[in-house]
Structure 1
Amino acid sequence: MLTDRLREEMTRPPFNEWLGPVAIEADEVEKRIAVELPFRPEFSHQTGATVFHGGVIAALADITGHAAVAVFHGAVTPTISLSTEFLAPAIGDRLRAVGRLRKKGRTIARADVDLFVGDRLVALARGTFSTKG
């Protein structure tokens, strides 16, 4: 089942387990996955505020892009490149990432990730991932 595969990706490697993203869904037809990251104080760029640091947002984008490829490719897919655009402050208690597999070839794949706090789009990311080996 794809959701089980997505859950597995959220606990591997150890960094993912430490960060704590939660698998929400995997849609075979849309080639789309969704994960959430509950806020923790160490994720903030400002003491006492529930504002996700840009590094945490980029890390979740990378994890989600990788998982969008890995879930539908069936294997680990190392990141080749990742571009993240920050659109608004990510203020809230949950960061949700929606990843879409855009293209899968013999050696590389592309994935897009939209990141939200509630219904507010706070960042966009695009990644290239290796599908070799």
Structure 2
Amino acid sequence: MTIDDLKALIAQAEFHKFLKMDVLDLEADGKLSIKLPFDESYTIFRKAGAYHGGIIASLVDVAGAMACSVVKGYPTPTANLRIDYLKSPARCDLYADAEARRVGRGIGVADVTIRDENGTVYALGRGTFNTADPRPVG
């Protein structure tokens, strides 16, 4: 998959378009970076500008799934997701750096770091993704 392929996947989902995510970097081995520009609608406490945890979880989910998808060449839906929130980001663009750790015939695992442009890490996530070929057999 190419960056254009991943951007096309994002464009197909209304929720992904709502998040205004942009794929910045991509490597064939399942490493990629996604930018999430700050938007007031992503906050839980508008006065403080703090991100809602669900927005961060969505970014982890999409980045991890795409990392596995790059290796497999087709979408890999989420089977499980774990996130450790380290710090609450506020009023900043976020970046998801994802790396596919293992991509097998049925399961893939990807790690995701959520950071700002200065490198401050806000969350660490790990996802398990269904990597089985979705095409019918036969």
With normalisation by structure 1, the TM-score equals 0.92
RMSD: 1.4
Larger Rg: 2
Q: Report what 2:67 is aligned to.
A: 68
DSSP 3-state at the match of 1:96:
strand
Q: Could you tell me how far apart the structure 2 residues matched to 1:17 and 1:97 are?
A: 16
- 1:79 Cα deviation after fit: 0.4
Give structure 2 stretches of 5+ with no counterpart. none
Q: Could you tell me how far apart the structure 1 residues matched to 2:46 and 2:108 are?
A: 38
Q: Tell whether the 8 Å contact from 1:115 to 1:121 is kept in structure 2 after alignment.
A: yes
Q: Could you tell me how far apart the structure 2 residues matched to 1:22 and 1:75 are?
A: 19
Q: Tell whether the 8 Å contact from 2:63 to 2:96 is kept in structure 1 after alignment.
A: yes
Q: Tell whether the 8 Å contact from 2:113 to 2:125 is kept in structure 1 after alignment.
A: yes
Q: Could you tell me how far apart the structure 2 residues matched to 1:10 and 1:112 are?
A: 19
DSSP 3-state at the match of 2:44:
coil
- 1:48 Cα deviation after fit: 2.8
DSSP 3-state at the match of 1:127:
strand
Letter matched to residue 90 of structure 1: P
Q: Number of matched residues?
A: 132
Q: Percent identity?
A: 31
Q: Report what 2:102 is aligned to.
A: 103
Q: Could you tell me how far apart the structure 2 residues matched to 1:127 and 1:91 are?
A: 24
Q: Map of 1:1-133 to 2, 5 A cutoff?
A: 2-29=2-29, 31-118=30-117, 119-132=119-132, 133=134
Letter matched to residue 95 of structure 1: L
Give structure 1 stretches of 5+ with no counterpart. none
Q: Could you tell me how far apart the structure 2 residues matched to 1:98 and 1:128 are?
A: 16
Q: Could you tell me how far apart the structure 2 residues matched to 1:63 and 1:35 are?
A: 9
